[in-house]
Structure 1
Amino acid sequence: MAFLTIERDGGILTATMNQPETRNALTGNTAVQEFVQLCDTVRKDASVKVLILTGAGPIFSSGGNVKDMQRFFDDALTPDLIREEYRQGIQQIPNALYQLDVPVICAVNGPAIGAGLDLTCMCDIRIAAENATFAESFVRVGIVPGDGGAWLLPRAVGMAKASEMAFTGEAISAQDALACGLVSRVVPADQLLPTARALAEKIAANPGAVMRMTKRLLREGEHASLASLLEISAGYQAIAHKTADHREAVTAFIEKRAPRFQ
């Protein structure tokens, strides 16, 4: 059974983690390969404008499969082998998803635990159902965030809040997540996907190529100097000014009509 169920509606792609029997765990299955393949497909398809990520069942994702971790007790699995497994395994998800140049909306339908929380932080916009909870819980099972959480979470909530969550491993509610900026909206559970789709439609109404460049600038801005970002922005802007969508947008504005983007 596939881990991800993919649905398409125009330029909007919805990927649903669909293994509720494992609490949508990200290890011990084909989740990594499917996420990498999904991102590769979206990257190559210019007609995709927005990706929505959510989970099936009562839980968004429990992160790593704790039962599967028992195999690390085997002395044959040396630290070197385990390190390489992380590099070639779950770390491929942030490498693919966080670097994706299409806007990603995360619709958090329930608890997002450990790597499940970090998965939400790889997305651009997070909307939570009222029953969602969030926990950076690695310390509670005696491990560290192996999927980039120590880099992702502070960028979402700030270092102090990220430290509190990582050091205690305690879960926070959807309302607490809203207060610290981890999510931008909290909605009733039955309004989660409609809200995500309505937002996706607003995004998808804009020119796709410019949207991808805009996201790339936001990503570069997280670590580039202002001078470097200005230089990249000038290059992207030169490309944007020559697109048919820019010409259409300006023409439509002058003619006082709705633009018809390609």
Structure 2
Amino acid sequence: MSQVVTVTEPLPGVAQIVMADREHKNTFTDALLAGLGEAFTRVAADERYKAVVLTGYGTYFCSGGTRDALLGIQEGTFTFQPEGVPSAYSLALDCPIPVISAMQGHAIGGGLSMGLFADFVIFSRESVYTANFMKFGFTPGFGSTRIFPAKLGLALAQEFLLTGRTFRGTELAERGVPFPVRPRDEVLPAALELAGNLAEKPRRSLVVLKDHLVRELREQLPAVIEQELAMHAQTLHQPEVRDLVLNRYGT
């Protein structure tokens, strides 16, 4: 298994996937992407698992694309969906059993999109959440244009995506986000409690019901990704985008 992504079984039937690339603050490095792909493949193939908890470490859930990746996309040498690389944003959606995103830490850009593709989401009051694509001057990717409206409602999704602004978990709670918002140290315990509840059900029943509930989203996603890549072709290669990535990344 990866050194930056681990799988444990904290409760019978529950897989806990932990992202802990401390050196890169859980950005989408090759190591993190490969580790996530391996972890979800392993969990999906193991019949004893009935639920998954996906979480990060400390104050970080997932920080999205690396600076080099964003510059590569801007220069046209890379895309957010390169051939042969796991589609991190849809790993939770494609997983046959229910996935809970225990977002105890900051979730940024594609990292937030990935978390929202889970079946259940738990936010942290202290953490920051942002779809910061437009902060750098280019249109969103990672399926964000579909999953944000689906999970957060159109009004809040538009504010996330069009402004690129940052929200604290406390503000999301005040805005009526349709997910629990807990103190950071309560996020993972709440996720494990929920996972334990799910693990009491027959695996086959969970798989069949999840497949029914997410079928439409799974069917729509490939066309959405094509549309997002088409928008990237129009917006990413502007000189202003490179300047914004160079000057604003990490701020």
Aligning the two structures, in what range does the TM-score lie when normalised by the shorter sequence? 0.7 to 0.9
Structure 1 segment 239-250 matched on structure 2, within 5 A: none
CA offset at residue 95 of structure 1? 4.0
C-alpha distance in 2 between matches for 1:222 and 1:69? 26
Separation (CA, whole Å) in 1 of partners of 2:115 and 2:177: 9
Identify the structure with bigger relative contact order (alpha carbons < 8 Å, sequence gap 6+).
2
Match of 1:151 in 2: 146
Distance 1:170 1:91, change over 3 A: farther
Unaligned regions of 5+ residues in structure 1, if any? Answer: 225-262
| Residue 42 of structure 1 pairs with residue 43 of structure 2 | yes
Q: Which runs of 5+ in 2 are unaligned?
A: 220-251
Secondary structure of 2:118 counterpart: coil
2:160 matched to 1:186? no
What is the CA RMSD across the aligned residues, in angstroms?
A: 2.3
Q: What are the equivalent positions in structure 2 for 1:61-100 lying under 5 Å apart?
A: 61-71=62-72, 79=76, 81-83=77-79, 86-88=81-83, 92-100=87-95
* Secondary structure of 1:145 counterpart: coil
Equivalent position of 2:194 in the other structure? 199
Contact 2:6–2:39 (CA<8 Å) still a contact in 1? Answer: no
Q: In 1, Cα distance between the equivalents of 2:22 and 2:217?
A: 34
SS of corresponding position for 1:127: strand
- Listed one character per residue, the Cα deviations across residues 83-104 of structure 1 (whole Å, up to 9, x for unaligned) are 4x62326661234331111111
Task: Choose the corresponding residue for 1:177, options 165, 169, 172.
Answer: 172
Going from structure 1 to structure 2, the CA distance change for 1:91 and 1:155 (only over 3 Å counts) comes to farther
User: What is the alpha-carbon distance in structure 2 between the residues aligned to residue 112 and residue 132 of structure 1?
Assistant: 8
Task: Determine the structure 2 residue equivalent to 1:161.
Answer: 156
Cα distance, 1:72–1:165 mapped onto 2, change above 3 Å: closer
Once the two structures are superposed, residues 21-47 of structure 1 have per-residue CA deviations (whole angstroms, 9 ceiling, x without a partner) of: 312101x32222222222222222121
Three-state SS of the structure 2 residue aligned to 1:15 is: strand
Q: Deviations over 1:180-230 (max 9, x none)?
A: 565521222222211111111111111111011111110025588xxxxxx
Q: 1:130 aligns with which of 125, 129, 133?
A: 125
Alignment pair present for 1:30 and 2:31:
yes
Distance 1:128 1:114 in 2: 15
The alpha carbon displacement at 1:179 in A equals 5.0
Q: For the Cα contact (< 8 Å) 1:125–1:183, is it kept in 2?
A: no
Partner letter of residue 208 of structure 1?
R
Give runs of aligned pairs for residues 206-245 of structure 1, distance below 5 A: 206-222=201-217
Name 1:58's counterpart in structure 2.
59
* 1:239 match: none
Aligned length: 217
What SS class does the counterpart of residue 82 from structure 2 fall into?
A: helix
Partners of 2:160 and 2:187 in 1: CA distance: 25
Q: Is the 8 A contact 1:36 1:96 kept in 2?
A: yes
The alignment partner of 1:21 has SS state of helix
Measured at CA, do residues 94 and 176 of structure 1 come closer, stay the same or move farther in structure 2, by a change above 3 Å?
same
Distance between the aligned counterparts of 1:166 and 1:61, measured in 2?
A: 18
Task: Classify 1:221/1:102 alpha carbon distance in 2 versus 1 (closer, same or farther; 3 Å).
Answer: same
- In structure 2, relative to structure 1, the CA distance for the partners of 1:181 and 1:116 (3 Å cut) is farther
Alignment TM-score, normalising by the size of structure 1: 0.74
Shift, 1:145, TM fit: 2.3
Q: Mark the CA change 1:88 to 1:212 in structure 2 (over 3 Å): closer, same or farther.
A: same
CA distance in 1, matches of 2:217, 2:71: 37
| Separation in structure 2 between the aligned mates of residue 96 and residue 189 of structure 1, nearest angstrom | 24
Equivalents in 1 of 2:39, 2:85: separation in Å?
15
Aligned to 1:228: none
Deviation at 1:69, TM superposition (A): 3.2
